[in-house]
Structure 1
Amino acid sequence: MKVVIAIDSFKGSISSIDGSRAISEGIREVDPDAEIVMLPLADGGEGTVDAVVQATGGQVIEKEVTGPLHNRVQAKYGVTEDGKTAIIEVAQACGLPLVPDYEKNPLKTTTYGVGELILDAIEKGCRHFVIGLGGSATNDAGVGMLQALGVQFLDQNGEEVELGGQALGKIESIESNNIDSRVDDCVFQVACDVNNPLYGENGAAYIFGPQKGATENQVVALDKGLKHFADVVKRDLNMDIYSKPGSGAAGGLGAAFSGFLKGELESGIHLTLDLIKMEEYLEGCDLVITGEGMLDGQTSMGKVPVGVAKIAQKHNVPVVALAGGINQENFQLNELGISGCFSVVQAPMSLKEAMKRDVTYKNLKFTTRQVIQTIRHFVQK
């Protein structure tokens, strides 16, 4: 029996790598001779670097960069085994976890460190980039990242503007001739699963600003700055960075990548599955086990389990999904290619208890054993 394990992390509980190990142990208890392929996954957000490095046999690089509060932070990114592709989670350099609650302020936070990670990967020979947007503490439209790459954003006095979202409204001209020449040789594929424009009532500031610490007045100021910045870019560079779906992702980093760096904004899980060559592992496969912390309406909107199921469906491979919880309201996952969904929680317990890493590990292992035991029973009959 060949089983491919392709799960996302159970957020706040267990990583996709450790969850895959638990599932593997559950399979082995029933079928010691099973061929097991573990492909820990992520949808472009947290855990993408570790998942892709694990699946491709690459390596993790650590680099000290400028953090969101302009201090130095230790960040990491991945490089595939051939040394040509870098996998970067922007949250490593400008993520919300790097900012204490009392210091959250997207007027001040910067994406400068993302540019530093890109430059470090370029120095190491990478020319293909997979960028995971999500979890940023910023709203600077990627200006900080572009400054690190050599683009100059000047105020009315011809001086370089400061870092952070507060600078957007002060930009009066843009000098892009000094951007690192090697960037022209790079290809950027950007994992982006939101369609928000750069500014406006559905834009970066109004939709995502509050969770990054912006007050009502700051949201208004940030949105005004984003619009001003887009207008200057249109005037000076004849580039529309506003209307493309996803330009408002990660505080406007979507606009910076798609506009200045000619990046393609793509579904995070589809990009990850292509990168790890998921289809190749389905050859001769009897079962795929996928899962995430909660199976609900969000799952059907392009999360890991449905992305995995769509590929498995092409190869007529059944898919079982495991989760901490399952929301039955408007349940559509069976129609989307998942053969069966199972909660791993085996007894009444608090959410806090259920999310403990050791409890989840044990529950994943036990539930997997029951699933495989059932399948073996019917196959042997």
Structure 2
Amino acid sequence: MKIVIAPDKFKGTLTSFEFCDIFESTFQKLLPKATVISLPLADGGDGTIDIAQHYLGGEFISKEVRNAYGVIVNANYLYSESTKTAFIEMAEASGMKTIVHNDLNVKEASTFGTGELILDAINKGAETIILGLGGSATNDCGIGMAKALGYCLLDESGNEVVPIGKNLPKITKITSENVHTQLFEVNFKIACDVTNPLYGSNGASYVYAKQKGASDSDIELLENGMQHFSKVLDDYFNINTQEIIGGGAAGGMGVASKTFLNGELISGIELVKELSNFNAHIKNADWILTGEGMLDEQTKNGKTIQGILSVRPSPTKIAVFCGKIAIATKTLDTLNINYAKDILSIAEDLNDALTNTKQHLHILAEQFVKNEFAEANFAKS
């Protein structure tokens, strides 16, 4: 009997490592002859860097960089000397977590600090850089990052433009004479979990800028800037930026990663599955146990559980454990989920579920093993 444990975190209450530990210990106690493989996962969002370290090894590098508003902060990224691979979360330098939320003013924000982290990794000798998009406080189409890497962004008078979102309409020319000489020797993989285009009603500015502090007039300014700058990018890189799936991610960093970095945009969960050698590990598995904080309609849009469902081999069964299941039983059947339980079903209330997540998951784990592996002949396997 082969069991693969492959969860995402329950944000704020349980790490994917803790989930694995709970189920591992349960199987060791109740079914010690089972072969259990733990593969903690993430979907590319905040915290993916810890999962990356689990598979890549390496060490965390701390560097002083500018946050989205130019304030010096300490940001960390992961670097593996043996594989010459760096894992950078842009949220470390250019994210909402680095600023005071009541001071949000996205049109003044820049991704310069993310560029500083990339530059440091290149100088360390990185040959592959994995860049996680998400949690950003920016809407500058990556011009701050580009500036840090040596690109020049000029206005019609030939003057350099300060690389912040509100200045996108001023840029008329890009030059690359001062770009770091090793930039295009690096293989960039970009963890991107949204499909939004750069601009338009479903683009970066209209969908995400408000939560980063933009007023209605700010959004119009940023939207106009995105549309204007996209034409500059199209001409310089001979590309149609609006056709880039996920181009609007992280305030246009999807497009910036594709153009300025020549990066490959990949679903975050697909990238983590690649790091974990997931597809090889699940061969001949009898069960895959997974979970995340919420199982809802968003699960089908690039989340960890969907990433597992998309590749699970037949006749492998899937068990899902969540904080809350917010989809109908019929939908579970459609997704071919064989077993699903949530913590809210046994907790007294939401506060109990959030406060005692580990204890409740222990209970669900024991219930699952006792219910699904009750046959006596399992002990002989």
Distance in 2, matches of 1:222 and 1:309, equals 38
What is the CA distance between 1:38 and its match in structure 2?
A: 2.0
CA RMSD of aligned residues (A): 2.0
Distance in 2, matches of 1:326 and 1:85, equals 37
| Matched position secondary structure for 1:211 | helix
Give 1:352's aligned residue: 351
Say if 2:61 is the partner of 1:40.
no
8 Å contact kept, 2:318–2:337: yes
Give 1:75's aligned residue: 75
8 Å contact kept, 2:188–2:262: yes
Identity among equivalent pairs (%): 38
1:288-367 equivalences in 2 (<5 Å): 288-311=288-311, 313-314=312-313, 316-329=315-328, 331-356=330-355, 359-367=356-364
What is the CA distance between 1:331 and its match in structure 2?
A: 4.7
Distance in 1, matches of 2:211 and 2:292, equals 23
**Aligned-partner residue type, residue 189 of structure 1:** K
Give 1:380's aligned residue: 377
For residues 279-300 of structure 1, give each alpha carbon's deviation from its aligned partner in whole angstroms, at most 9, with x where no partner exists: 2222453322100001111112
Distance in 1, matches of 2:80 and 2:338, equals 33
| Matched position secondary structure for 2:297 | coil
| Matched position secondary structure for 1:55 | helix
For residues 188-237 of structure 1, give each alpha carbon's deviation from its aligned partner in whole angstroms, at most 9, with x where no partner exists: 22122222111122211011111111000000000111111112223344
For residues 302-355 of structure 1, give each alpha carbon's deviation from its aligned partner in whole angstroms, at most 9, with x where no partner exists: 2101212333x2263222110011113385344334321111335353323312
Unaligned runs of 5+ in 2: none
Aligned residues: 378
TM-score, length of structure 2 as denominator length? 0.92
Give 1:208's aligned residue: 208
8 Å contact kept, 1:40–1:55: no
In structure 2, relative to structure 1, the CA distance for the partners of 1:260 and 1:301 (3 Å cut) is: same
8 Å contact kept, 2:55–2:275: no
Give 1:155's aligned residue: 155
| Matched position secondary structure for 1:219 | helix
8 Å contact kept, 2:108–2:164: yes
**Aligned-partner residue type, residue 380 of structure 1:** N
In structure 2, relative to structure 1, the CA distance for the partners of 1:165 and 1:369 (3 Å cut) is: same
What is the CA distance between 1:141 and its match in structure 2?
A: 0.1
Distance in 2, matches of 1:379 and 1:277, equals 33
| Matched position secondary structure for 2:182 | helix
**Aligned-partner residue type, residue 107 of structure 1:** K
In structure 2, relative to structure 1, the CA distance for the partners of 1:333 and 1:47 (3 Å cut) is: farther
1:86-125 equivalences in 2 (<5 Å): 86-125=86-125
For residues 48-87 of structure 1, give each alpha carbon's deviation from its aligned partner in whole angstroms, at most 9, with x where no partner exists: 1101211343433322221112112222222347332222
Give 2:57's aligned residue: 57
In structure 2, relative to structure 1, the CA distance for the partners of 1:268 and 1:146 (3 Å cut) is: same
TM-score, length of structure 1 as denominator length? 0.92
In structure 2, relative to structure 1, the CA distance for the partners of 1:307 and 1:236 (3 Å cut) is: closer
Distance in 1, matches of 2:331 and 2:301, equals 11
Give 1:370's aligned residue: 367
